[in-house]
Chains A and B, each alone.
Chain A
Amino acid sequence: MILSRKLKDSISSKWMLACLSFCLLLPLAIGSGLVLKSLPLLQSHSLKELIFSEDWFPSDNQFGFWPFIVTSVWVTVLALIISIPLCLLSSIYLTQFAPKWVLKFMRPVIDILAGIPSVVYGVWGLLVIVPLVGDKIAPLFHQDSLGYSLLAGAIVLAVMSIPYILNMLLEVFRQIPVELGEASLSLGATKWETIKHIFIRKGSSGILSAFGLGFSKALGETIAVLMVIGNVPQIPQSMFDSGYTLPGLIANNYGEMMSIPSYDSALMFGALLLFVIIVIINIIFRYIIYKSELI
């Protein structure tokens, strides 16, 4: 009896370790798989040329990824610029000012927003945001735009990332003890001063990880952006220009045009680039979070 309990005890932790190792090995396996698959391309082209060249002519064996990298990063940053203030202010309002029932009401709303398939956001972007950008917003800035643009992609992405970022921020602000607010108020701070100096500071590492996760999610989003951004392999000169994101490139072309030599390998290299960008961004965010926790 005792023996079997002890046995179960020792096995249980081993199983958990096995599961953990699997989770840890997964990114490693994916990364190395991508490297292996893109090796043929890397053998015939220099890394510098692949990353920084603007010429994307697969039929001429020219694979410059710079336009895709620029578009991907730009549309993601633009999306976060739109969604971060919205999420930050809403989460502060919901946790600090709104009556409790509003927060209770918002939770399922956020879950529903998160659960909408991205293709639905894409259709919405196509029907509403693209014409809005082309007919209303671009003329405001004296720009000509068909609407299929970075801005349209960014707006759709911003809306899609709101539920994720908002949900995490709500959790961050909910975990700040009430007493910390009481301490600040009792020193004569107003509510706004307390939020600005104490709550945001206390939650800074959580807030930053919310942004980091939002960035990774937005960078990898494929179908909704692909539907509204125009898919032109060029370096966009303004946010009203069309672009082509890395995920869009892969999704649009994989399995097609395989007659072109090294095309398959090039797409895999695109995936590898995406993977590397996400890893770099995560490391940067981790570093900032680590720095912010020292205070």
Chain B
Amino acid sequence: MPSTIELKQETEVKVESIPAHVPIVKIDKLNVYSKGTHILKDVSTVIPKNKITVLLGPSGCGKTTLLKCLNRLTDLYPDLKINGSIKIDGEDIFDAGRDITTIRQKMGLLLQRPYPLPMSIYDNIAYGLKLKGIRKKKIVNAKVEKHLKEVALWDEVKDRLKTSAQRLSIGQQQRLCLARGLAVEPEIILADEPSSALDPISSKVIDEEFLRLKSDYTIILVTHSLRQAKRLGDNIIFMYYGEIVESGPAEQVFENPQSKILQEYLRVGH
């Protein structure tokens, strides 16, 4: 009980100070260690709802690790030691009692390269639905169609839904992976350099999807491409060697960088 009241108060305060920037994720003093290396150092930040938040920074600065902490894929790596807290909708995901599968279903994940599940196009989307207990054929059919349309893939695949997803082009596969993530109706989309393996046209399609999807979803996008960050980002978090160096609304961060390292990154990136 007390926690909901606390959350309510917090939310109200935020709404008052910065309207329309309702936080959906709150990260507090997150530290990640792997065999003696300190990968994330005291990371604290807030991710606003219905915005595209870009995690920007050079390779190996901890962006992907931070992303994987959010849906606890870090559980797969027993070498990682994690402390601190991540609250999503006010609930700490590291609480021992939390059911990890429901936490993960709040987030759709898009990786650097598409990894379609070894099944048909249709089943790739139906898989997540079945895990949620949705088995009625009519509902599943409708949802498959809806989400394939959502990523502009429906027209290209509607005649071969039962064929293997591996046969799609890589750009189509990536859109399928996005659709499969959307099908479980997440609140957040986690995207780890989703267009780095794609040709310019497919990657533009993905970018446009993100701009369209942000009215319904919160998007957290990892990238080291300045151009993509500028094109898509509402909110920028710039990381360097496991620390958040600078963060804030995109215009502010790009127009008026405070730290030397970000100034350098912006200059070289051009």
Is A190 in the interface zone, CB < 8 Å from B? yes
With a CB–CB cut-off of 8 A, which chain A residues contact B184? Answer: 187-188
Is B15 in the interface zone, CB < 8 Å from A? no
A74-82, A102-110, A151-159, A196-204 - interface stretch: A196-204
With a CB–CB cut-off of 8 A, which chain A residues contact B104? Answer: 185-188
B52-60, B111-119, B198-206 - interface stretch: B111-119
Q: Is the CB of B128 within 8 A of A188?
A: yes
Distance (Å) between the CB of B181 and the closest chain A CB?
A: 7
The CA-CA distance from A187 to B131 in the complex, in Å, is 8
Given contacts A187-B131, A187-B180, A187-B184, contact A182 B73 (CB under 8 A): yes
The CA-CA distance from A202 to B117 in the complex, in Å, is 8
Is A281 in the interface zone, CB < 8 Å from B? no
Is B105 in the interface zone, CB < 8 Å from A? yes
Q: Is the CB of B127 within 8 A of A197?
A: yes
Cβ 8 A contact of B132, one of A180, A184, A188: A188
Within 8 A of B (CB), among A110-168: none
Cβ 8 A contact of A181, one of B71, B76, B119, B180: B76
Provide the main secondary structure of the chain B interface. mixed
Q: Is the CB of A182 within 8 A of B109?
A: yes
Q: Is the CB of B101 within 8 A of A183?
A: no
With a CB–CB cut-off of 8 A, which chain B residues contact A178? Answer: 76
With a CB–CB cut-off of 8 A, which chain A residues contact B9? Answer: none
Q: How many residues of B contact A (CB 8 A)?
A: 29
Interface size class of A (residues with CB under 8 A): 20 to 34
The CA-CA distance from A197 to B105 in the complex, in Å, is 17
Within 8 A of B (CB), among A198-241: 198, 201-202, 204
Given contacts A182-B109, A187-B181, contact A177 B115 (CB under 8 A): yes
Q: Is the CB of A198 within 8 A of B118?
A: yes
Is B107 in the interface zone, CB < 8 Å from A? yes
Is A99 in the interface zone, CB < 8 Å from B? yes
Distance (Å) between the CB of B239 and the closest chain A CB?
A: 21
Within 8 A of A (CB), among B132-182: 132, 164, 177, 180-181
Within 8 A of B (CB), among A277-295: 294-295
Q: Is the CB of B73 within 8 A of A186?
A: yes
The CA-CA distance from A80 to B132 in the complex, in Å, is 36
The CA-CA distance from A213 to B164 in the complex, in Å, is 27
The CA-CA distance from A189 to B119 in the complex, in Å, is 15
Is B62 in the interface zone, CB < 8 Å from A? no
With a CB–CB cut-off of 8 A, which chain A residues contact B177? Answer: 183
Is B269 in the interface zone, CB < 8 Å from A? no
The CA-CA distance from A99 to B73 in the complex, in Å, is 17
Q: Is the CB of B119 within 8 A of A187?
A: no
Is A179 in the interface zone, CB < 8 Å from B? yes
The CA-CA distance from A195 to B226 in the complex, in Å, is 38
Question: Of all chain B residues, which has the CB nearest A292?
Answer: B118
Question: Of all chain B residues, which has the CB nearest A178?
Answer: B76
The CA-CA distance from A86 to B102 in the complex, in Å, is 33
With a CB–CB cut-off of 8 A, which chain B residues contact A188? Answer: 101-102, 104-105, 128, 131-132, 184
Distance (Å) between the CB of A102 and the closest chain B CB?
A: 12
With a CB–CB cut-off of 8 A, which chain B residues contact A182? Answer: 68, 73, 76, 109, 111, 115
With a CB–CB cut-off of 8 A, which chain A residues contact B76? Answer: 178, 181-182, 185
Given contacts A179-B113, A295-B164, contact A186 B131 (CB under 8 A): no
Is A171 in the interface zone, CB < 8 Å from B? no
With a CB–CB cut-off of 8 A, which chain A residues contact B115? Answer: 177, 179-180, 182-183
Question: Of all chain B residues, which has the CB nearest A198?
Answer: B117
The CA-CA distance from A186 to B76 in the complex, in Å, is 12
Name the residue among A99, A177, A182, A184 with the largest chain B CB count within 10 angstroms.
A182
Given contacts A197-B127, A198-B118, contact A186 B109 (CB under 8 A): yes
The CA-CA distance from A204 to B117 in the complex, in Å, is 13
The CA-CA distance from A189 to B117 in the complex, in Å, is 12
With a CB–CB cut-off of 8 A, which chain B residues contact A189? Answer: 101, 127, 131
The residues of A with any CB-CB pair to B shorter than 8 Å are 99, 177-190, 193, 197-198, 201-202, 204, 294-295
Pairs across A and B, CB under 8 Å, 12 listed = A99-B78, A180-B118, A181-B76, A182-B111, A185-B76, A186-B190, A188-B105, A188-B128, A188-B131, A188-B132, A190-B101, A294-B164
Which are the 4 A-B pairs with shortest beta-carbon distances?
A186-B109, A188-B105, A187-B128, A202-B118
The residues of B with any CB-CB pair to A shorter than 8 Å are 68, 71, 73, 76, 78, 101-102, 104-105, 107-109, 111, 113, 115, 117-120, 127-128, 131-132, 164, 177, 180-181, 184, 190
Can you add 4 more A-B contacts, CB < 8 Å, to A183-B109, A183-B115, A187-B105?
A: A99-B78, A182-B109, A182-B115, A187-B184
